[in-house]
Amino acid sequence: MDFVKRMTCYLIVVTVASTLLLEVFDYERYILGWVWGCAINLLYLLILGLWVYKLRHKELRTIEKATKLGTLIRITLVAIGTLLAVYLFENFPFVPYMLGLMLWRPLTIYERIRYNQADSPNVI
């Protein structure tokens, strides 16, 4: 659960900072796609946090099945977000949208490095 909280904080900070930088450097046309992609990630983290909280005392097999279903939920969430973007916005900036969606990966790598340096016996 702490992992989800930290990732949510990282995502919010990076999203706000990057949005401000896009504004300062006069790249407003990319802000919608960036924020839309990051919002999909934030929504996924909210769902993941609720999922982890619900499964915290379950058996390993139940958690394994729930993880597979969680992957399906993430793919569905991205598909719905993409379809909504196509239908709601004209000339939607898809490159920043995809970068916003992929922001999850560098943040998890950062968290893994930070975690490994702490020499904690727990595993993410």
Is the Cβ–Cβ distance between 10 and 110 less than 8 Å?
yes
d(CA 29, CA 46): 27
Angle value at C-alpha 47, between 109 and 31, nearest 5 degrees = 65
The CB-side HSE value for 71 (13 A sphere, CA atoms) comes to: 5
In one letter, which amino acid is 4?
V
pLDDT, tens digit only, all 124 positions of the chain: 688 888 889 999 999 999 999 999 999 999 999 999 999 989 988 888 888 788 888 888 887 787 788 788 888 999 999 999 999 999 999 999 999 999 988 988 988 888 888 765 655 5
The pTM of this model reads 0.81
d(CA 108, CA 86): 28
Backbone φ and ψ of 90, nearest 5°: -85, 140
- Which positions ≥6 away from 52 have C-beta within 8 Å? 1, 4
**CA torsion angle for 63, 68, 84, 1 (degrees, to 10)?**
30
